[in-house]
Amino acid sequence: MPSLRLPFSISSLCASAVAVLLVAYIGVIAVVMTYAALTVEFSQSVRNDEAAVAALESAYLADVARLTSTDYAAVGYAKPRATTFIRAQSSTALR
C-alpha cells in the first residue's frame, strides 16, 4: 500500500488561507471606510448645492414678486391709448 502524502504541507495551506483572508478583511474594511467617507462627503455636497439652489430660487421668486407689484405708471410708463389686435403673420415669406 503506497503511503498517502500530499504535495504540500497542511499547515502551510492553513497559513496561506489565513493570510489571504486577513488581506481580504483589511481590504473590505478599507473599502467600507472609503465608501462611508465618500457617502458623507457627497451627501453634504448635495445638501450644500440644494441650499444654494434654494437661495437662487428665493431670489427668482422675490424678483417675480417685485416685478408683479411694480406700478408702471409710477416709474414713467404710460398706458397705451388704444390696443390693436391683428392676425399673426406668417414668419417667413415663403409660406
Partner 1 sequence: MRAQFRSRIRAILLFVVLVAVLILVRLYFVQIVDGDDYALKADRQFSSGGSGLFDRGAIDFTRKDGTPIHAATLATGFLAAINPQILTDPETAYRAIRAAASSSPVLSRDAFLAAAEKKAQVYIEVAHRLSDEHGKALAAQNIPGVQVLRERWRYYPGASLAAQTIGIVSYGSGDVLVGQTGLEAAYDGALSRSGDALYKNFFAELFSNVGNLLVDAKDAREGDVVTTIEPEVQTRLENDLAKLTKRYASKESGGIIMDPATGAILALASYPSYDGNNRQDVAPSLLGNPLVEHVHEFGSIMKPLTMAAGLDAGVITPETTYNDTGCITVNTARICNWDGKPRGVIAMPEILLQSLNVGASWIATKLGQDAFREYFTALFGTKTGIDLPNEGRSLLSNLSKPQQVGYDTAAFGQGIAMTPMQMVRALGALANGGMMAEPHLVRAVRLNSGIERSIDWSRTTPVFSAAAVRETATMMTALMDQKLEGGKAMIPTMSVAVKTGTAQLTDGRGGYHTDRFFHSFVGFFPSYSPRFVILLYTNDPQGVEYASETLDTTFLDLVHFLIDYYQVPPDRGLATSTSSG
Amino acid in the structure at residue 20: V
Which residues in the 72-91 window bind partner 1 by CB under 8 A?
Answer: 79-87
- Cβ pair 89, 95 in contact under 8 A: no
Query: Minimum CB separation from partner 1 for residue 42, in Å?
Result: 8
Does position 95 interact with partner 1 (CB under 8 A)? The reply is no
* 88, burial (CB in 10 Å: exposed 0-12, middle 13-18, buried 19+): exposed
Give the x-and-dash track for 14-53 against partner 1 (CB under 8 A).
Answer: --------------x---x--xx--xx-xxx-xxx-xx-x
62's grid cell: 422675490
Alpha carbons within 13 angstroms on the beta-carbon side of residue 91 total 0
Interacting residues with partner 1 (CB under 8 A): 1, 3-4, 10, 28, 32, 35-36, 39-40, 42-44, 46-48, 50-51, 53-55, 57-58, 60-62, 64-65, 68-69, 79-87
